[in-house]
Amino acid sequence: MITKKIIKGKPYLYAEHSFRLPDGKIKKVSKYIKSENKAKSSDILKYFEEKELQAYQQYALGRYTPNYIFTHEKITKVETIRLQYRKIMKNLTKNQIKDIIDRFTVNFTYESNALEGNSLTLKDVILILHENEVPKNHSLKEIYETRNSRIANELLFRNKIQITLPHIVTLHKIIVKETGIPDGFKTIPNFLLMRNVKTTPPENVQSEMKKLINYYNTIKDKEHPIQVAADFHAKFERIHPFEDGNGRVGRILVNAILLKHGYSPLIIRKSMRSSYFSALAAYDKGYKAKLRRYFLEKFEKTFEKFFRVYVDYPLKKDSSSL
């Protein structure tokens, strides 16, 4: 946008750029230009991008108190990633957005299901989701787990998954559809894989889940969203509200929290299974830093190795290489 200002009787041209901060407030930035032709020059656009980034960084540093994990430098880097992610998604065509979401869904589905013991390979997942083929020598349960995850991720990227009790119950129903697993809160006790801690008894699940939602609503705008996602995930997994499918539901909820705050989603790889469960176990014992740091690392790595790679090599990369 170009505006003309009269200063001491002389006209001056200014290029202006407006953007919305996470709290909904509009911030306007202007820069003097010699002519309208300069308004869209790379220098002017770069200036506006830098000012917008600075504003986001200042906003985050003012809202979230730095600590030894989310240091001043880390918060600054995370906000840089947030702006880069938004820019990437904004500049993609509709077909490219569909493509990148499809690729993310394939990778997330494969890794998340594999963490729970699903034996499908990445190639199998691609065949199921993109070719609608059913690989041989695999159970129908594994096939449906894969198809269901795609539906859940489609809802995720359409911002249809909220951190509320009804949404979480509905998400679980989607995840376990036709797998033989009953939907709804558990009616018999269950246990946590690789974690020496008791889960919430069935009769207390409803009340504990309500407490968890209230906890989330209390901290969601006070603590850093990645830290909120880590804490919510650990508490959710410890409750283990469903008979099965808790891990898959929990990891989608992590990304729902991140996307809701404008951050890119993350993927936890099956190769990181031991460190993932170790971080959750440490949280159970009161050592919260390990899981928070783990989520921060996975957030950074997923952006670098998935979203940035897609933009840098959109035609050279396929899902199997991400």
- Bridge partners, residue 57, by sequence: none
* Long-range CB contacts (within 8 A, 24+) of 1-9: 2/33, 2/36, 2/39, 3/30
pLDDT attached to residue 316: 43
Domain boundaries, position 98: 88-321
Residues 163 and 297 in one domain: yes
User: How many distinct structural domains can be found in the chain?
Assistant: 2
pLDDT attached to residue 271: 94
Q: 190: which residues sit within 8 A by CB, 6+ positions away?
A: 199, 240, 243, 244
pLDDT tens-digit profile, the chain (322 residues): 788 777 877 888 888 889 999 888 999 998 888 776 665 677 888 888 999 999 999 999 999 989 999 999 999 999 999 999 999 999 999 999 999 999 999 999 999 999 999 999 999 999 999 988 888 888 999 999 999 999 999 999 999 999 999 999 999 999 999 999 999 999 999 988 777 789 999 999 999 999 999 999 999 989 999 999 999 999 999 999 999 999 999 999 999 999 999 999 999 999 999 999 999 999 999 999 999 999 999 999 999 999 998 877 654 444 333 3
Residues 21 and 169 in one domain: no
Q: 293: which residues sit within 8 A by CB, 6+ positions away?
A: 69, 279
Q: What is the CATH number of the domain that holds 130?
A: 1.10.3290.10
Residues 228 and 265 in one domain: yes
Residues 55 and 94 in one domain: no
Which two tokens mark 223? Answer: 């603590």
Q: What is the dihedral of CA 298, 301, 307, 311, to 10 degrees?
A: 180
pLDDT attached to residue 40: 66
Residues 107 and 8 in one domain: no
The pTM of the full predicted model, rounded to 2 decimals, is 0.91
pLDDT attached to residue 12: 82
If one counts every other C-beta atom within 10 angstroms of the C-beta of residue 193, the result is: 15
Q: 269: which residues sit within 8 A by CB, 6+ positions away?
A: 111
